[in-house]
Amino acid sequence: MRKFLYFAAAALLLCACGPRTARTVSVAADDTPAEVLAKAVRVVPTPQQLHALDNAFIAFVHFGPNTFTGVEWGSGLEDPAVFDLKAPDTDQWCAIFRDAGMKRVILTAKHHDGFVLWPCRYTAHGVASSPYQGDVVKELAASCRKYGLEFGFYLSPADLYQMEAPDGLYGNGSAATLRTVPRPVPGRPFADPRTFTFEVDDYNEYFLNQLFELLTEYGPVSEVWFDGAHPKRKGGQQYDYLAWKELIHALAPDAVVFGKEDLRWCGNEAGRTRASEWNVIPYAQDPAEMNMFDDLTDGDLGSRERLLAQPRPFWLHYQPAETDVSIRHGWFWRNDGEQAVRSADNVFDMYERAVGGNSILLLNVPPDRQGRISPRDSAVLAEVGRRIRTTYGNDLLAGARRRDSVEPGTSREQLCIEMECPLAIRFDRLAIREDLSKGERVESFALDVWEDGWREVVTGTNVGHCRILRFPEQNVLRLRVRILSARAVPHIASVSAFLSGED
């Protein structure tokens, strides 16, 4: 009898806590619109995705033969001698990134040309054949640890060297057979004893071996970045991402994968952000079983209308966007004469729109041929870091009294969050965050200030991890966030106010 009572109590508690949340929730063919929306708010980030959003300003580093040849896409036929690097100053990179407020560094360990920036066991087309003879991956990983930054790497699925070389593995028509990863190489033993078996072709084995080296020999990896770009393809080569994913999850369980189910491309490389960036995305298949992910470039990926128009059945999946953009014109350093560098105003604007738009800003900063970040770029980043600290370092509502209520005659979803300050505050920024453990719920809201009555200042659409609104300076004792529409009763984690100090 006692066991039954325990079971009944657990079942009641579960019901009281509401339906189970998950990173992916399936929608049935006969689900009503209300059931679709109720399922949408059950979709929540994984701890790794939430961590990525909490550290939403990160650095991209495009570095390789293109730095020395001045092209954006190499041919794969470059002579390794062009990589005439003396010593990359990765400490300088990381000091600049840290002071700019960036939290992670992602290096192009292998770009499309197939040239590898570490002494890879499985190809000589890289630093080991160059005048440099060092290990850029190792240098950067060590600097990341030294400066308190997370490390990630970009490994291009497209590999022009493996396409062009006479013995190249890319698209060579090999059969998928059982392979052991990592493939032992005489004289180059691994410290990590783990091995894995996959039924893959030559290029996927090569790619898995490279992943094993990068995931086991350079310390913790926080992000693996798969570019969807392809200068060319060969032999109908397919990518066995499900095998790649199995290896990544085994060797780097805390890493997020860009270009696949964890993080998606925002849809442009210009730093543009959506007016409403929803991270609960509809898929016709279960993303956990998908090998290829198309680029999502539509303006509306997750509004109520978009979800309700999705042919059922389908899946709802949590997948934040990364807004990847270069500080320079182009992804690689070319020269310091005519190559344009973005202004601090422009980068700070992108920061507020991306980080304050439920997204992640991945800003590319390409080192020069001396392996250093140029003074023009570092000056911009220093100013951006200063602006972030002076604008967002002091929450003017820290001492305010919060009162949540529902106005008479409005629905439970139309929550009001009132903030009353002990002294009047001057502010021109509002940052609002949802409790993502309860899902993305807010669809639109307004900011009101009290001046002998409520006066609407500005409205916003969805919130998610963080929404930043910008408006003319206000000077008040009381303000409120008025939820205009929501998919369910909102759970607002925080409301903050800031003063940018801009003219």
Q: Which residues bind ligand OTN (CB under 6 A)?
A: 227-229, 259, 265, 269, 295, 324
Q: CB of 183: closest distance to ligand OTN in angstroms?
A: 28
Question: 227 or 413: whose CB is closer to ligand OTN?
Answer: 227
- State the helix-helix crossing angle for 375-392 and 344-355, rounded to 10 degrees: 50
| Cβ–Cβ < 8 Å for 415, 463 | no
Q: CB of 1: closest distance to ligand OTN in angstroms?
A: 59
Residue 498, Cβ density class (10 Å: 0-12 exposed, 13-18 middle, ≥19 buried): buried
Question: 228 or 235: whose CB is closer to ligand OTN?
Answer: 228
Dist CA 116 CA 135 (whole Å):
9
Question: 39 or 264: whose CB is closer to ligand OTN?
Answer: 264
Integer-rounded Cα Rg, in Å, for the chain is 25
Q: CB of 113: closest distance to ligand OTN in angstroms?
A: 14
Dist CA 462 CA 485 (whole Å):
9
Q: CB of 329: closest distance to ligand OTN in angstroms?
A: 13
Q: What is the dihedral of CA 482, 484, 489, 493, to 10 degrees?
A: -40
Of 47, 48, 40, which is closest to residue 258 (Cα–Cα)?
48
DSSP 97-134: HHHHT--EEEEEEE-TT--BSS--TT-SSBGGGSSS-S
- The residues that bridge with 139 in the sheet, in sequence order, are none
Of 388, 374, 383, which is closest to residue 341 (Cα–Cα)?
374
Question: 295 or 473: whose CB is closer to ligand OTN?
Answer: 295
Question: 265 or 427: whose CB is closer to ligand OTN?
Answer: 265
Q: CB of 324: closest distance to ligand OTN in angstroms?
A: 5
Dist CA 183 CA 205 (whole Å):
9
Q: CB of 268: closest distance to ligand OTN in angstroms?
A: 7
Question: Which residue's Cβ has the minimum distance to ligand OTN?
Answer: 228
Local structure of 214: helix, strand or coil: helix
- Which helix (H) or strand (E) segment holds residue 325: the answer is strand 321-326
Question: 229 or 499: whose CB is closer to ligand OTN?
Answer: 229
Of 496, 364, 503, 478, which is closest to residue 60 (Cα–Cα)?
364
DSSP conformation class of 328: B
Where helices occur in 226-284 by DSSP H, the ranges are 241-251
Local structure of 434: helix, strand or coil: strand
Give the CA angle between residues 386, 389, 391 to the nearest 5°. 100
Question: 217 or 269: whose CB is closer to ligand OTN?
Answer: 269
Q: CB of 58: closest distance to ligand OTN in angstroms?
A: 14
Structure tokens at 18: 């509401």
Question: 32 or 297: whose CB is closer to ligand OTN?
Answer: 297
Residue 433, Cβ density class (10 Å: 0-12 exposed, 13-18 middle, ≥19 buried): middle
